[in-house]
Amino acid sequence: MYLRTTKVKRPDGHIDEYIRLVESYWNNGSPRHRVVCNLGRKDLLAPHIDALSHLIKGETNPHGESLDLSAVGAWDWGVLLVARHFWEQLGLQAILDSAQNGGGNGELSDRTLALVANRLCEPTSEHGIARWLETDYVCDRSGRRWLPEWRDDSERLASRRPRVRVKDRQLRHWYGTLDRLVAQKKSIEKELFLRLRSLFALNVDLVFYDLTSTYFEGNGPAGLALHGHSRDGKPRNRQILVGQVMIDGWPIAHHVFEGNKRDSVTVVQVLDDIQKRFGLRRVVFVGDRGMVTSDNIDLLRSREQGYVVGLNRRRRPEVLRYIKRATGPWWECPAGIAASERAVVPKTQVQEVKSDKPGVRVFVVHSDERLAYERAEREKAMERVKAALESLANRVNTGKLKVPEKIGAAAARTLAGNHGYRYYDWKLEKGRFRYFEHPINLKNEKSLEGKYLIQTEEQNLSALEAVAVYKELSEVERAFARLKDVIEMRPIFHQKAARVQAHVFVASLAFLLDRALEKKLKSAGLDISSREAWQLLRTIRVVEIGVGAEKTTRSITQGSGRAAKILRILGLKNLDPNTRKTGERAA
């Protein structure tokens, strides 16, 4: 091992020199070099460089001096490092600096980034951020680290809020950040959209829209937190709806709705916002089956907007008619990346069928993969229902259950479970209970398996293009699920409507950075999910080393091999915080 000096040019033109510990090794007969550790700035280490060199070589210092090195502390750093990289690359730092009207020295941007980075690695409440500040190196753009401020125990226990361990001043800073951020939400999203469109040449003709719900611990703000259809399996908790608008896989805007609203009712507001705020005159609206109502279709048609939507297979009687009309030639759709890597590539085929309405086009899609899954699920469900019906038949036929009304009620309960009414029917004849496969429902169920229908009025869209667009919606839905599952938007503890809006906004910004990382990894062909990548980045740490009795220096560990690979993909070479203005400050 040996010491290497590396020069790093800062944005302001200043050049810092850093000392790095480098190791030589052999790889397939060739010499290679890797950085083991960044020891810190050369000007701070200058008095000790000779001693360090002797220490590395295992030599005795000729001056008889001993070098006292000790690790003072270590903090996770990689997540904030990469988050800041995307924050600047996507223009968010400049947008939020501008939103401050030139004041605050960038504090709104720096503090918002800290909240967003917390969502990406260790989601917690504003109260819990103090604990996170103890384990992670969280700093502003100048490298000044934020430190937690804890209340003295005697003061805390004597107060009216003994459970609050963080000083009020620190909480006010974070809550103030939320308040200033949400006040600028609309303008920030608009500026962000313009930058994304310029950076990535977004295809603004296709707008994808999806909804989810997230619940509250406690009552939540009145008028916003309401009971409704819960996608979280928490029907007793009040909730809100969050609608996300995406273009080319990038989230460009989100909306927060009352928790009791129907999905289809939100479409009007979203469409108005797209047209007025973002200036998108004509778009093709892509949504799932919950958005498909005759009123919404009429609305899109009246505004000369396009749409591509899926049809609900069981709530629309015309679906079976369309499937029966699919007697023509099938077009084979290109296989996706995941499907093409399988030993037997599952096919997806499509054909256009005659619609019942003029100007409306309907595509029937058959998926081998979907067929195998739905058939297996049906067979499992039929086995469960059959076993329950057999048990009921034994009770009736052995005389344990005799009253016809009770027999009918028991049969209804049995068929309600596992969708048994789709597969079986029953009769009671001369006191004997008999069940059998439903002659109509089961046949219809088998006809639906493996198929889904797409409706549009876009006349220039081919059958293969319609399938590709609708499949992209599925990708958007999976990505949107990360907003709750990875970024952990749920549950919400805030009791003020504006704070709830701000909480969702921070989660949405974290979702944007998560998408940026995922797209980078995917384009580089690296088989690591963004969720795993954020965890790997935590192996990159800031280590504070005591040099001698009085001085300290900070170094950066290189992290794991896979973390280093992520940094190479992102082109990140300088891992150091800007410590020329080093210091610490209360958070």
Q: What angle do CA 478, 482, 486 make, to 5 degrees?
A: 150
Residue predicted with more confidence, 48 or 186: 186
Residue of higher predicted confidence among 478 and 403: 403
The mean per-residue pLDDT over the stretch 39-66 comes to 61
pLDDT (mean) for 28-44: 70
pLDDT tens per residue across span 291-346 = 767 788 888 888 888 999 888 887 788 999 999 999 999 999 987 655 555 677 88
Residue 60 has pLDDT above 60, yes or no: no
Tokens 């992209």 identify what position?
472
Give the pLDDT of residue 227.
93
Report pLDDT for 214. Answer: 86
Helix/strand/coil for 516: helix
- The Cβ of residue 57 has, within 10 Å, a number of other Cβ atoms equal to 10
Give every strand in the sheet of 30-41, ordered side by side: 2-9, 15-27, 30-41
**71-83: per-residue pLDDT in tens?**
678 899 999 999 9
Q: Which residues contact 94 (CB under 8 A, 6 or more apart)?
A: 88
Strand partners, 131: none
User: What SS3 string covers 287-304?
Assistant: ECHHHCCHHHHHHHHHCC
Across the chain, what does the average pLDDT equal?
A: 86
The pLDDT, as a whole number, for residue 557 is: 84
Do you know the residue count of the chain? 587
- Mean pLDDT on 223-237: 88
Instruction: With CA atoms as reference, report the closest residue to 69 among 103, 45, 91, 36.
Output: 45
Q: Is the CA virtual torsion 298, 304, 310, 313 positive or negative?
A: positive
Distance from the first to the final alpha carbon of the chain: 39
The pLDDT score that the predictor gives to residue 567 is 94
Q: What is the pLDDT of residue 322?
A: 95
Question: CA distances (Å), 135 to each of 145, 152, 555, 559, in order?
Answer: 12, 20, 16, 16
Rounded to 5 degrees, what are φ and ψ at 373?
Answer: -65, -50
For residues 326-342, one letter each, b for 16 or more C-beta atoms within 10 angstroms of the residue's C-beta and e for the rest, the string is: beeeebebeeeeebeee
In which order are the strands placed within the sheet that holds 451-456? Answer: 250-258, 239-247, 206-215, 284-287, 306-310, 451-456, 361-367, 348-353, 331-332
CA separation for the pair 400, 132 (Å, rounded): 63
pLDDT of res. 356: 92
Cis status of the peptide bond prior to 491, with omega within 30 of 0:
yes
Question: Is the omega angle on the peptide bond into residue 162 within 30 degrees of 0, that is, cis?
Answer: no
Q: What is the pLDDT of residue 283?
A: 86
Neighbouring C-alpha atoms within 13 Å toward the C-beta of 578: 15
- pLDDT score recorded for residue 44: 62
| Residue 472 CA to its chain's centroid (Å) | 16
Digit-coded pLDDT (tens) for 531-552: 899 999 999 998 887 766 667 7
Q: Record the pTM.
A: 0.79
Residue 495 has pLDDT above 90, yes or no: no
Instruction: State both tokens at 359.
Output: 């100007």
| pLDDT higher than 80, residue 30 | no
DSSP SS3 for 3: strand
Mean pLDDT to the nearest integer, 274-301: 84
Strand partners, 88: none
| DSSP notation for 121-176 | HS---TTTHHHHHHHB--B-TT-PEEE--BPPHHHHHHSS-TT--B-HHHHHHHHH
What pLDDT does 521 receive? 94
Per-residue pLDDT reduced to its tens digit, 6-15: 776 666 667 7
428-449 as b/e, with b when 16 or more CB fall inside 10 Å?
eeeeebebeebeebbeebeebb
Least reliable range by pLDDT among 52-56, 213-217, 560-564: 52-56
What is the C-alpha separation between 137 and 542, in angstroms, rounded?
7
pLDDT for 45 = 65
Q: Which helix (H) or strand (E) holds 219?
A: none
Mean per-residue pLDDT, 278-303: 83
User: What's the CATH fold of domain 185-308+461-493?
Assistant: Nucleotidyltransferase; domain 5 (3.30.420)
CB-based contacts of 177, cutoff 8 Å, min separation 6: 108, 111, 112, 115
Residue type, 307: Y
Coarse DSSP helix, strand, coil percentages of the chain, rounded to the nearest 5 percent: 45, 25, 30
pLDDT of the residue at 510: 93
